[in-house]
């Protein structure tokens, strides 16, 4: 345990750079209130710090083998944070930029989605508005040379591709591309630029009145993307909305507040936060939202966390809409990024957040980090994913919604108003092997690349593809043959059980490769029980029977 809490040496060997670095760490933790906590426990921080630093000194001077002091200190920081809670974390200087990119909404690069197929870099699609698209690089192009170096058939990895193609804005990279139908190797000089990372995976009209939007993260650009999607669908006649937050692990607190504000009228409390060193903060809806009165259904599952729970909790507590799916993850801890002297970063838990009715969504973590991380498997073992009856809901966890006084529950995650169990009726080992081994993705890429031109002539719009593309017997035979070449033996019985799921998923993948992710979700959502339940809820009178307050906003 002591090794996990190593930090620094204060007084001895002052020329040691690692010691100076460690001193900075301890001073930083002290500034964050760590010293206050120690004082509260009647522990003298200086003596404690000297104890840690002395041990580090003796390890450096006396240990039987040479030691990497920097790695040792990083291990100590990680261990110390794990003693606090499961979400306080350390990010090394080398990883900070990559870790922050998904939330900031962009990175520097050439702007392609790629896959490695048969040891060759295949462009799945150029990113809209990126430098590759502007130069005319196309889906299906094979990148075989980067800056004069052959990268085909040499065992290139995903990390190798990122290292070679990502780089600072305005720098150049030259790629040699092999394109179907062209005998000549095409050369492009690409000037790297800011590449957007989109938060909205898909938005489309389910029918003449129901809109659907899938949000994958709560980042810097999320609200701009969401508002554009809402305005477009409203112009198409949207009256009802399905907001899909399934698998959304969260992001920025402010983005969650802004999203809830789109659905709640002014002066409605959205969330409040509290922490030992920080006063209680209340966050309210402040502006007129784009969708304050229409019928709203929010989809969540066990992968919906943090910011997703803020939004769904506020919607539920104000009786604004119905929550459909399964109990959310249960992350109610707020992290604040704290920079360290060497460019590394600690994301330190500083507050807990609470829904408007007073529910703390954070699930228990007093049994340690490992038990906390395994809790999602415990849900499977307990049967919770299949029935609400398997969830322990004591009266002590009961709360009331703010308007209609409906019963809701705290104690770990948002419990949906309408439960949708996991559907395993079409799941077989053969189907899962096709997914796990990457065979289905690989086949979809190869098929699209081989038949792109003829498919574009037949399916000249995404809607035409969605409504008319079918998995033929020939396509099935080709998929099965590829699987067998990768030692995944055909199982006719299991194929028949999974046939619908295989065909829908394969069509969605081919559609994505031919068009975009919007088409992927239009097709794959046929396999989503929560999505289907949401549509039914809006059409069969279930929403009205819930007696919500959506007309009062």
Confidence of residue 16 (pLDDT cuts 50, 70, 90): very low
Looking up residue 378, the CATH number of its domain turns out to be: 3.90.226.10
Same domain? 396 vs 502: no
Please determine, for residue 150, whether its predicted confidence score (pLDDT) is greater than 80: yes
Same domain? 401 vs 261: yes
Same domain? 110 vs 247: no
Same domain? 269 vs 404: yes
Same domain? 183 vs 206: no
Same domain? 125 vs 175: yes
Please determine, for residue 20, whether its predicted confidence score (pLDDT) is greater than 80: no
In whole angstroms, what is the distance from residue 509 CA to residue 521 CA?
A: 10
Q: What is the mean pLDDT of residues 477-492?
A: 96
Pick the last residue of a domain from 419, 447, 465. 419
Q: How far is CA 103 from the centre of its chain?
A: 10
Q: What are the distances in angstroms from CA 129 to CA 132, 187, 197, 433?
A: 8, 20, 12, 36
Please determine, for residue 128, whether its predicted confidence score (pLDDT) is greater than 80: no
Count of C-beta atoms within a 10 Å radius of residue 381: 10
In whole angstroms, what is the distance from residue 214 CA to residue 516 CA?
A: 14
Q: Per the domain annotation, does 246 fall within a domain? A: yes
Over the stretch 345-379, which tens digit does the pLDDT of each residue have?
999 999 999 999 999 999 999 888 888 888 988 99
Q: Per the domain annotation, does 100 fall within a domain? A: no
Whole-number pLDDT of residue 101: 67
Q: Is the Cβ–Cβ distance between 297 and 379 less than 8 Å?
A: no
Same domain? 122 vs 225: no
Q: Per the domain annotation, does 552 fall within a domain? A: no
Instruction: Collect all residues with Cβ–Cβ distance below 8 Å to 332 and sequence separation of at least 6.
Output: 306, 309, 352, 353, 354, 360, 361, 362, 363
Whole-number pLDDT of residue 41: 52
Q: Which of 190-204, 258-272, 456-470 has the lowest mean pLDDT?
A: 190-204
For residue 315, which of 404, 220, 209, 203 has the smallest C-alpha distance? 404
Pick the last residue of a domain from 163, 196, 229. 196
Please determine, for residue 17, whether its predicted confidence score (pLDDT) is greater than 50: no
Q: Per the domain annotation, does 545 fall within a domain? A: no
* Length of the chain measured in residues: 553
Output phi, psi for 218, to 5 deg.
-110, 85
- Domain extent for 20: 3-83
Mean confidence (pLDDT) of the chain = 88
Same domain? 119 vs 23: no
Q: What is the mean pLDDT of residues 405-417?
A: 94
Q: Per the domain annotation, does 113 fall within a domain? A: yes
* % of the chain surpassing 70 pLDDT: 90
Same domain? 168 vs 192: yes
Alpha helices in 63-90 (DSSP H): 69-82
Same domain? 37 vs 161: no
Pick the last residue of a domain from 369, 388, 419. 419
Looking up residue 115, the CATH number of its domain turns out to be: 2.30.42.10
Q: Per the domain annotation, does 481 fall within a domain? A: yes
In whole angstroms, what is the distance from residue 529 CA to residue 517 CA?
A: 19
For residue 139, the SS3 value is: coil
The domain total for the chain is: 4
Over the stretch 49-105, which tens digit does the pLDDT of each residue have?
788 888 888 888 998 999 888 888 888 888 889 889 988 989 888 788 777 766 676
Planar angle of CA 328, 329, 331, nearest 5 degrees? 120
Q: Specify the higher pLDDT residue, 122 or 472.
A: 472
Over the stretch 505-530, which tens digit does the pLDDT of each residue have?
999 999 998 999 899 999 999 999 99
Q: How many CA atoms lie within 13 A of 309 on its CB side?
A: 33
In whole angstroms, what is the distance from residue 151 CA to residue 15 CA?
A: 45
Same domain? 518 vs 407: no
Q: Is the Cβ–Cβ distance between 82 and 141 less than 8 Å?
A: no
Q: How far is CA 176 from the centre of its chain?
A: 33
Active site residues: 306, 317, 331
Same domain? 252 vs 301: yes
Whole-number pLDDT of residue 24: 44
Q: Per the domain annotation, does 411 fall within a domain? A: yes
| DSSP string across 470-519 | ---HHHHHHHHHHHHHTT----HHHHHHHHHHHHHHHHHHHHHHHS-HHH
Over the stretch 251-302, which tens digit does the pLDDT of each residue have?
899 999 999 999 999 999 999 999 988 889 999 999 999 999 999 999 999 9
Q: Which segments of 238-316 are extended strands (E)?
A: 240-244, 269-275, 278-284, 295-300
């Amino acid at each position: 345990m002591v090794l996990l809490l190593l930090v620094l040496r204060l007084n001895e060997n002052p020329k040691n750079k690692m010691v100076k670095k460690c001193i900075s760490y301890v001073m930083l933790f002290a500034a964050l209130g760590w010293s206050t906590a120690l004082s509260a426990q009647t522990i003298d921080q200086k003596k404690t710090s000297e104890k840690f630093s002395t041990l580090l000194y003796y390890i450096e001077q006396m240990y039987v083998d040479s030691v990497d002091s920097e790695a040792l200190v990083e291990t100590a920081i990680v261990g110390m944070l794990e003693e606090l809670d499961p979400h306080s974390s350390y990010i090394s200087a080398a990883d900070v930029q990559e870790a922050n990119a998904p939330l900031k909404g962009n990175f520097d690069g050439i702007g392609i989605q790629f896959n490695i197929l048969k040891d060759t870099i295949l462009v799945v699609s150029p990113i809209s508005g990126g430098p590759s698209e502007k130069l005319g690089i196309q889906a299906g192009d094979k990148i075989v040379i980067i800056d004069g170096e052959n990268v085909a058939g040499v065992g290139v990895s995903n990390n190798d591709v990122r290292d070679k193609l990502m780089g600072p804005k305005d720098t150049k990279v030259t790629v040699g591309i092999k394109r179907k139908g062209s005998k000549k190797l095409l050369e492009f000089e690409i000037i790297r630029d800011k590449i957007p990372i989109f938060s909205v995976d898909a938005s489309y009209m389910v029918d003449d009145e129901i809109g659907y939007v899938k949000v994958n993260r709560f980042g810097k650009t999320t609200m701009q993307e969401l508002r554009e999607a809402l305005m477009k669908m409203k112009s198409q006649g949207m009256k009802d909305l399905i907001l899909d937050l399934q698998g959304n692990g969260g992001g920025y607190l402010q983005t969650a507040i802004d999203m809830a504000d789109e659905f709640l009228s002014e002066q409605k409390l959205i969330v409040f936060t509290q922490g030992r060193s920080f006063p209680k903060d209340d966050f309210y809806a402040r502006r007129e939202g784009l969708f304050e009165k229409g019928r709203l259904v929010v989809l969540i599952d066990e992968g919906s966390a943090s910011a997703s729970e803020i939004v769904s909790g506020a919607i539920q507590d104000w009786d604004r809409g119905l929550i459909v799916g399964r109990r959310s993850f249960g992350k109610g801890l707020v992290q604040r990024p704290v920079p360290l002297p060497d460019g590394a970063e600690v994301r330190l838990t500083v507050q807990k957040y609470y829904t408007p009715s007073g529910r703390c969504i954070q699930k228990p973590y007093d049994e340690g980090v490992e038990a906390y991380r395994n809790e999602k498997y415990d849900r499977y073992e307990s049967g919770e994913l299949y029935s609400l009856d398997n969830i322990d809901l004591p009266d002590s966890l009961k709360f009331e919604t703010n308007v209609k006084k409906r019963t809701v529950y705290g104690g770990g995650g948002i419990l949906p108003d309408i439960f949708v169990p996991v559907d395993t009726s079409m799941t077989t080992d053969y189907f899962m092997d096709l997914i796990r081994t990457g065979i289905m993705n690989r086949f979809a890429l190869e098929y699209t690349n081989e038949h792109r031109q003829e498919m574009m002539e037949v399916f000249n719009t995404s809607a035409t593809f969605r409504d008319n593309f079918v998995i033929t017997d020939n396509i099935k035979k080709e998929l099965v043959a590829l699987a067998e070449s990768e030692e995944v033996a055909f199982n006719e019985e299991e194929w028949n059980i999974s046939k619908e799921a295989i065909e829908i998923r394969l069509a969605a993948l081919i559609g994505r490769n031919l068009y975009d992710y919007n088409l992927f979700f239009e097709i794959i959502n046929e396999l989503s029980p929560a999505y289907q339940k949401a549509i039914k809820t809006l059409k069969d009178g279930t929403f009205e029977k819930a007696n919500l307050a959506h007309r009062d906003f």
